Amino acid sequence: MFTDVLFEVADGVGKATLNRPQQMNALTLDMIRALDDKLAEWAGDASIRAVMIHGAGDKAFCAGGDIRALYDAKKSGNGTLLSEFFWHEYRLDYRIATYPKQLIAVMDGLTMGGGAGIGLNAPVRVASERVVFSMPECAIGLYPDIGAAHFLQRCPGELGMFLALTGLRLRTAGLYYCNLVTHTVPSERLGRLMPESLSIDNMTTRTADISKLQPAIDVCFGLNSVDAIITALENRNDPGSTDSLNLLRRSSPTSLKVTFEHMRRMRGKTLADVLKQDWRISRHMMAGSEFFEGVRALLIERDNEPKWNPPTRSEVSEAIVNRYFEKLPDEPDLDLKL
């Protein structure tokens, strides 16, 4: 019996619970397919008026995709999993964003990567005081996918670009300040949360620390290249700029430049546009080695010494970056007809 996602219906509300708490509810392909299928079923069920998505336990809503499974698939030559995972994940994210009924993501604990794809693409986005959000993909040789180049456009100023490149962690107040969540609810109330209680359960969040950093972020991360951003940060003499530099320097040079270009190109684009481009970039990355080297160094062998290729930003040419945006030969573009 499949129990990695649990489903129930009560009082006309469908509830889906990501149920791998020991793995921080990390998404597998089977979980993605099960959730997508159930959402499609509930969309056509007239007795269901709303849907809520939760994560089991109190540590994580969803810490992302099961990247260990992707790493193992690459090692074993299982190209089918590497393709189908992203195809179905992006279609699920699109279904969530365009759902015909009220859909509420209830985020409590870690919400990263693929978990943010579910939580932050939802029309109604609830965060408890225990939420920790991040898009840390550049540090593992990937890039912020799952529609992040769309939902990060909600952030004021250049905070979206900043979060995409640095992977800085935000807590609830920061998420609210960045327009990434619509409601904040104390964790003690989540067990009895219903769609109609959202308007009375909101709590006041403290002032977001990131709001104090925004003026400097807008100046530096509004520049026209990764190199210019890093130079500007190097020329500043403040703790925030130093912290940002440290986050950028740990990341893959290729990932930084691809992410910057993706964020730049997708400004003003629809979620469908972004997900279709996400698909192309991800297919290139799964065909390459950068992501798998990052996973090896940081999560498998944990030597924390990834050997990026190319190893420096200066060696990541415009031609290399542009290649990630091209359609792969003999491969279809992402189909978002649900």
Q: Which residues are catalytic?
A: 65, 114, 137, 145
Give the pairing of strands 5-10 and 13-18: antiparallel
Helices (H), the chain: 29-43, 67-76, 79-97, 114-119, 148-151, 159-166, 172-177, 198-201, 209-220, 226-234, 239-249, 253-265, 271-287, 290-295, 318-323
Quick one: DSSP state of residue 327? Answer: P
Render 89-104 in DSSP notation, one character per residue.
HHHHHHHHHT-SSEEE
Quick one: DSSP state of residue 27? Answer: B
Render 199-268 in DSSP notation, one character per residue.
HHH--PPPPPHHHHHHHHHHHHTTSSSHHHHHHHHHT--SHHHHHHHHHHHTS-HHHHHHHHHHHHHTTT
Query: In 3D, which of 70, 88, 86 has the Cα closest to residue 294?
Result: 70
Q: What is the Cβ-side half-sphere exposure of residue 115, based on CA atoms within 13 angstroms?
A: 33
CA pair distance 77, 145, nearest whole angstrom: 23
Quick one: DSSP state of residue 335? Answer: P
Name the one residue in this structure whose structure tokens are 């530099």.
Answer: 245
Give the pairing of strands 50-55 and 132-134: unpaired
CA pair distance 137, 160, nearest whole angstrom: 14
